[in-house]
Structure 1
Amino acid sequence: MADKGGVQSVERIFALIERLAAHPAGASLQRLAQETKLAKSTVHRLLASLVALGYAMQDGETGRYRLTLKMFELSSGIVNSMDIMGVAKAHLERLAQRTGEAVHLVIRDGQDIVYIYKTENGPMRMSSRVGLRSPLYCTGVGKAILATLPPEKVADIWARSHPQKLTDRTVTDLAQLQAQLEGVRVNGYAVDDEENELGVRCVAVAIPGADGRADTAFSISGLTPYMTPERLRRIAAMALDARTDILADLGLLRQN
């Protein structure tokens, strides 16, 4: 029974941490209790522990709770250990400067992608953020990664993704997605045409490993009116050049 209670406490604390992460500006005790479906007294006790350990803080004026940078310090050690991060960062920053758009680097986690790096060089700011999780099937980076996988693996990921329409352009049919992925393989890049967020288009390129499969990808995102088909093609060419440079630095550049 003691072990079961311990597991339950761990599950609750991580559920609370995930909800706090979803509210970077902070959330009230009542809201956190509603979203975690836990009693306010339980949430208050767990928050007190997080605050005491330095992983959360309470705003003295608003009373809202939010995570501290101590939580980021834990994850940053993992992210910084990834070769892809150290190698790609300079190339992606240069790409952002050349295009004047937001550039993201993501890593696959199951049926989702997680944003691990973001750089912006233009006046507009995207709503995306490091740590954000999105489905593979409706994002440009996700489709770029899926295109490096065999159809049966794509079908397995699809079955576990519970696809739904995030916008009226979101693909929710596996056959249609597989057809899109064929186009990605031919062109070398994927396009998210307002499928994940209305008003935003992006070009995405996967960074394959030695076996040709990818767990990471990067994208260049901009507002739809400025991401015309012609400009998308120009940006895609720049993205593919950047991918070549990244693969060369990683020692993974394959000779055709």
Structure 2
Amino acid sequence: MVKETKKKGKSTNDINSTDKILNVIECIFKEKEISFTEIKEELNIPKSTLHRILLSLEKRGYISRNDVSDKYSLGVKFIYYGETIKSNLTLSKISESILKDLANEIGETVNIGILYNDSVLNILSVKGEESVLTSKLIPISPLNCSSIGKIFLAIKNDIELITYFSNNNYEKRTENSICTLDKFKVEQNSILNSQISFDDEEYEYGLFCIATPLKNHNGIINAAVSITGPKVRMKMKNIDLIQKKLIDKASVINDILIKIKFDFNY
């Protein structure tokens, strides 16, 4: 019993020590540059303890001290760690938890699609409520009759659009499918201005989709996020509200992509 008590006490001390170290790192990160006294006052850590923590962090490259100002900032090791983490990030990993929240909120399927050989390839799909219409969808769809696809078509120039439609790359899946350049040009400006695209029973009768683009720090659109569901059910849930929630979540993802200077790695 005595040994158990000591073991528990040691574990608690270890946790407290780790908390102190992490608090110091977070304090330095928040302030960019900060002095010993300022850290001590901010965190209320004993002088001797703080001295040991700073000395250890500096020795291992986690922080550096400016000899002139005598202030601490984060060290080069965090640059290395940051680049390693960033290189391991994929669009799916960045977006998944955000899109799960969206799918749970609205109860409809949420997808991320990328441009792949003049088609849309879904790289992430988060299921909502069950539906026969969404359950039979395949991960590849044409540009001309999918909401994500029309995002990609909208950013093509006139020559690229002429080539796309003249080469019969489009598919006429329903009577609503857009299969001519003239008909698409009517929608193109609206998509570019609103950053929203609709598939109103153009891919499948009874199916309705809304999409908005994802952009990195260079403003490059290489992916888009969409919400897909039965048209009747989505109308009952309020399509305007669903559209707003989609835009809000896409903005969160875009902010992350911009902040980390993401170069679309799928």
How far off its partner does 1:153 sit? 2.9
Larger Rg: 2
State how far apart, in whole Å, the 2-side matches of 1:161 and 1:101 are: 32
Counterpart for residue 13 of structure 1? none
Deviation of 1:192 after TM superposition, in Å, equals: 0.3
1:192 aligns with 2:199: yes
What is the number of equivalent residue pairs in this alignment?
174
Q: Quick one: which of 186, 190, 206 aligns to 1:183? A: 190
Work out whether residues 148 and 208 of structure 1, in 8 Å CA contact, stay in contact via their aligned partners in 2: no
Q: Residue in 2 aligned with 1:247?
A: 254
Give the distance between the partners of 2:248 and 2:231, measured in 1 at CA.
23
- SS across alignment from 1:157: helix
Query: Helix, strand or coil: the match of 2:177?
Result: coil
The one of 213, 220, 223 aligned to 1:216: 223
- Equivalent in 235, 243, 246 of residue 236 of structure 1: 243
Once residues 259 and 142 of structure 2 are traced to their aligned partners in structure 1, the CA distance between those partners, rounded to angstroms, is 27
Structure 1 match to 2:165: 158
**In the alignment, is residue 117 of structure 1 matched against residue 139 of structure 2?**
no
Unaligned stretches of 5+ residues in structure 1: 1-79
2:101 to 73, 94, 105: 94
Q: TM-score normalised to the size of structure 2? A: 0.59
* TM-score relative to the length of structure 1: 0.61
CA distance in 2, matches of 1:100, 1:154: 35
What is the aligned-residue identity percentage?
22
> Secondary structure at the residue paired with 2:238?
helix
Q: Distance in 1 between matches of 2:256 and 2:218?
A: 17
- In structure 2, the partner of 1:202 is 209
CA distance in 1, matches of 2:229, 2:183: 24
Q: CA deviation at 1:147?
A: 2.3
Q: What is the CA distance between 1:171 and its match in structure 2?
A: 0.9
Distance 2:259 2:203 in 1: 31
Q: Which amino acid aligns with 1:127?
A: S
1:209 Cα deviation (Å)? 3.4
**Residue segments in structure 2 that go unaligned for 5+ positions in a row:** 1-86, 262-266
Distance in 2 (alpha carbons) for counterparts of 1:229 and 1:205 = 21
Q: For residue 118 of structure 1, what is the amino acid of its counterpart?
A: S
Shift of residue 90, structure 1, vs aligned partner: 1.2
RMSD: 2.6
Q: Are the aligned partners of 2:147 and 2:197 in contact in 1 as well (CA < 8 Å)? A: yes
Judging changes above 3 Å, is the alpha-carbon distance between structure 1 residues 145 and 218 closer, same or farther for their aligned structure 2 residues? Answer: same
Q: Structure 1 residues 91, 128: closer, same or farther in 2, change over 3 A?
A: farther
Deviation at 1:252, TM superposition (A): 5.5
Looking at structure 2, the residues matched to 124 and 141 of structure 1 have their Cα atoms a distance apart, in angstroms, of 20
Measured against aligned partners, the alpha-carbon deviations of 1:89-112 in whole angstroms (never above 9, x if no partner) come to 111111101111011111111210
Structure 1 counterpart of 2:140, from 126, 133, 155: 133
Residue 253 of structure 1: how far off its partner (Å): 9.5
Structure 1 position 165, deviation (Å): 1.5
